Structures are given as structure tokens and as C-alpha cells.
Structure 1
Amino acid sequence: MTAARTRPDAALVGAVDAARAFLTDQVGSADVGEHLGHEVEGERVVSHFFACTRAGYRGWRWSVTVARAPRQKAVTFDEVVLTPGDDAIVAPEWVPWKERIKPGDLSPGDLLPVEDDDPRLVPTYSFGDDPLDADDKAQVRQVAQDLGLGRVRTLSVEGRQLAAQRWYDGDGGPSSPLAQSAPGSCTSCGFLLRIAGPLSELFGVCANGNANDDGRVVSLDHGCGAHSEVQLGKKQQPVPLPDPVFDTMTLDEIESF
């Protein structure tokens, strides 16, 4: 069942000149352009739209809402508002700051706490920890693969040590500015993915999508402000919003400043 369509009020629809006169009295004739049409808001309620010619408001329009009481011929004015049209320049949709953070945004000393219900983390006692070796024969299978069942050549001990030293001395090691100011090390972070093999006791992989090192090899004594257990101090808490204020200033008072 569809609702009955509201019948336009002829007196309100025809009150274009009266709406323009009321609008120019409020904002001045210099900012009011052509009549853009009307919209029936409800029974005996109509909004008339006028182009806004004020500099910097291209595509915006004035809306003047008029009404008429039952069995009354006089037209009354409800409100005047400035609304954006289809071509108006408006601010982009607001995005919470945590959703705006991208890898690489963290600077030394920055802290990025994790919510208690973050779906990326679970209590270790309920899920277990990543084992270094799947079973006691994992090392045997690795040696068999290195002997030629998959690759022609593999890293020597010297090559592995050179890689480990390079990683340890790089941005993913403990000497980087990010690690020096971190509140905790990667070895205690829930976002650390353990790796298998001879370098497992020194390195892991960061799996925090908000961290600078996401997807990179990091030393266990590396760290950053996106540690899973970081907490903000009282001085670092967001400033609370002030109490709402009822604004009674008119356009004339604002433009007089």
C-alpha cells in the first residue's frame, strides 16, 4: 500500500516573490540569484530554492521554507538555509583517524594503541602460539630440499650471516630511530609472525597493517609505536570535546567582524 501524495498548496507554490523578498532581507540581494524551483515538504509546507551568487559558494543554493496555517491565507516563513547542490564543493566524508593511518605514517615516539576487541589478536591461552617447527622432522625435510629437491643452490652459512647482519643493522633492527623510541620490543608483540629455520631465534615478520614494517623482516629486539600492548598515558589522551554551544549569531553579526 502506497502513501497518498501530498497535494501542492497553490498559495505556497506561488509565493516566489514573497520568498525572495524575505531571503534578500536576511542575506542581501547581492547573494541571491535566480529561482531554481520548489519542493513540497508536506501538507501546506513548501521550500523555494534560489541560486547562491556569493563568492566561493558555486553550486550552493538558498532554501526558503514557507508554510500556511489551516484556513489562513497569509504565508509565513519557517527558515532560510544554505544547502549544497549537485555541483557544490563540499568537504569529503569524514574518516576516523585510525582508518586514515597508512604504513609509513608512524614517526619515532608515536604510539598506536590497539583496541581490546581488535579481531587481529586473540589471547595466547585460547589459540596457542606459532611454533618454530611444525614437528620433529621439519628440519630433515628442509635439509632434503636444500640438497637439490627444489633449488639448484641455496644460501651458505656465510651468505646467511651476511643477510642477518644486514637486516639487523637496517631499519628493521634495534638501532633504528623507530626502535629506540618504541615502548616495547617485537618479541612481545602479538603482531609478530614467527619464522622457521636458522634465523628464527633472531628475526620474525611484522603483520601489523598499521605499522611501518608491515610485511617486512624485523629483529626480535626491534620495536615501534604500533606494539600490540601499547597504552596511551594521560598526557597523550585525546582532548575531550567541549560542551555544545547554542549559536544565536545572525549572518549580519558574522559579516560585521
Structure 2
Amino acid sequence: MPTPQQAVAAAKDKVLTSAVAVDLAHQALGQITEPLSVGAHLGARSEGERVVTHLFECNLAGYRGWHWAVTLTRPPRARTATVCEMELLPGAEAILAPAWIPWADRLQPGDVSRSDRLPRRETDERLEPGWEATGEQEGDVVGTDALDFGRARVLSAEGVQRAAQRWYDGDHGPDADGVRKAHATCATCGFLVPLAGPLRNVFGICANEWAADDGRVVSLDHGCGAHSETDLPDQGPEWPVTPSRLDEAAMEPLGTDGTSIRDGRSQAEEIEAASQEEPEPAEAGDAESGDAPAQAEDSSDGAEQTHEAGGAAQDAEQTEAPSSSEQRHASALDAVAELAATAHGHEDAPRAVPTTLDELEAQLPFGG
């Protein structure tokens, strides 16, 4: 679209901006395109003295934002306009192809492989002339040692600065992913091979095969988890060991048949043995008689016979172990008599002595 200044300058020429001139420009476009592809008149702009360009909307499919341009002119003091040129021009909303780039400038560093060959650039600001032989032996030896065997061109100061900045800002510099989590920097790593020359104080080469930067130039403030002095903290066992809450000394291991694994005896045999070890209460009349030594000898002999007989004798005695009802009755009477004697001083009236087993069980504290 023409600017306001261009529109004002074009309006000064009444012949080139008249309705007749606009109709002439519209009819001229019909010679190069379909009449329906020419839209409304958008305006006029001045191109110079007695030169005006009229703009028309473009209705062609796929040309949104484009417009037709018809340039008119006239001779001095003439009243008739003539057509100079016609063209299709892009506007502000037109979709255009990118600007043309020379082939030599289209290549990027990542586009070149090891098998590709680049053309020689005579004027490369990254390089400067190297050492050349002068024919003097002493000077040639000094130049060879200083400039590395007389290369035709060597890095210039700008080339060194560009390379250093590119390496430092890349994936092997201090801002790479994971560097902040590293234990230490490459400056203190034993796998760092220092460089020679002006880059020695900033870069080195990684020589650790376990590192992600192996064989690459890294900055001294770079870092990774494969540092030579890096170690993992002691995190303890993967499965924590907790002390047992059971007292194993008080537990009795049993087999599937109920037999103790320690002594080879069943639970019933253990209970019977424990009951036999407890002394039975002696009767009052037996304690005063002179048969006590004989009974002690009989009990010792019986214990020895029980120990020798083993499990078979214990089974036989188990069947004879239950005492008769008369012995139970006599023992119960003795126990009640002792209880009555001890409780006589605390009771006002003495209780009747039971004469039957039912009366005895009724007077016991746990009876009823």
C-alpha cells in the first residue's frame, strides 16, 4: 500500500490519477491475466516526475497479500497517459521464500562430514600467514621450533578467540547439563591432558574412557561424575538388618511330630518329667514313723530304675501314676486341717470339720 506522502505526491498529477487513467491501468492488466483476478483499486503512489503507479487487489488463489501494479507516465504538457510496465508485487502479508544465500555461505559446521572436501578460502580471518623458510639455517631452526614445522597458515588471535568461545559455550563447558551436580571440576581430575599454547589455561583433553567427554576438549571448570577423586558415600546395606524381637533362648524348637529337637523328648514326656521331680507332700503320720529312711531308699532306687528303664518304663509308670480316691480323700483332709488350724485365731467360731469330699470342696476358696 502507498504511504500518505506517496499518495499526496501522486495526486498532484491530475492526468495520471484521473478516473480515465485508473480505467486504462485496469484494462491493461486484462492483457496478462484474467479480468476476474484483478480486484479493487487500492491506491496510487508517485514514482517520480510524471510517473505514477496504480495498485490493484489480486484475487488469484494462493496469492494472499499480493497486488497488481501498473505504472503510467506521460510526456511533458501531454493530457494522455501511457502504460510503462505491469507486475505482481508482494505486500506485507504475502508469503515469500527466504532470501537467497550464496552456495559458499549455505554450509554450516554440522553439515560437513569427514569424507567431504571444502574449498580453500584465501581470505580467512581465522588464519594468518605462518613461517616460511628464509635460507638461513639458524633462523629456520628457531622458526621451526616456535611455529611447529613451518605450516603455511596458523591460527590468528581472532581464530583462537572464536574457538575458545565456541568450546566454552558448548556441551563441554561449565554450563553443560549435569556439570553443577559434579563432585569436582576437570582442573583437579587426574584424567585431564593439558593443552599446549594459549589455550592451556582454559582447556584440556579428557582421557577417561568412563566419562561422557572422553577424547574431547573440555574446559577446566567443566565436570562430571567420572572424576578421578569422586567416590560414592556409604549408604549402608540395601536391606537394613533389624534385631529380632523374640528371645531365642526361651524358645523350644519342636519337630513336626511334637518332639523336642534339643532333648529328643515330646511335650508330654517333658511335662511328666517335671511333675515327677516335684516332691509330694508327706503325711503327718508317715513323717513321725521310723520308716522314713526306708522310704528315701525306696525312692532313690525307684529313681535309678526309672532312669535306666528309659521311655518304656515312663510309659508304664504313667498308667499307674493316678492315685486312688482314698488317698485323695486323706490328703484333702490333712490340707483342710492345716487351713483350719491357721485360721482359728482369726475366726470367732470354729468351722465344722468336713467328713466327706463334697463338704471339703465346698469349703475350699476355689470351690463352688
Normalised to the residue count of structure 2, the TM-score between the two structures is 0.35
TM-score (norm 1): 0.48
Rg comparison, structure with higher value: 2
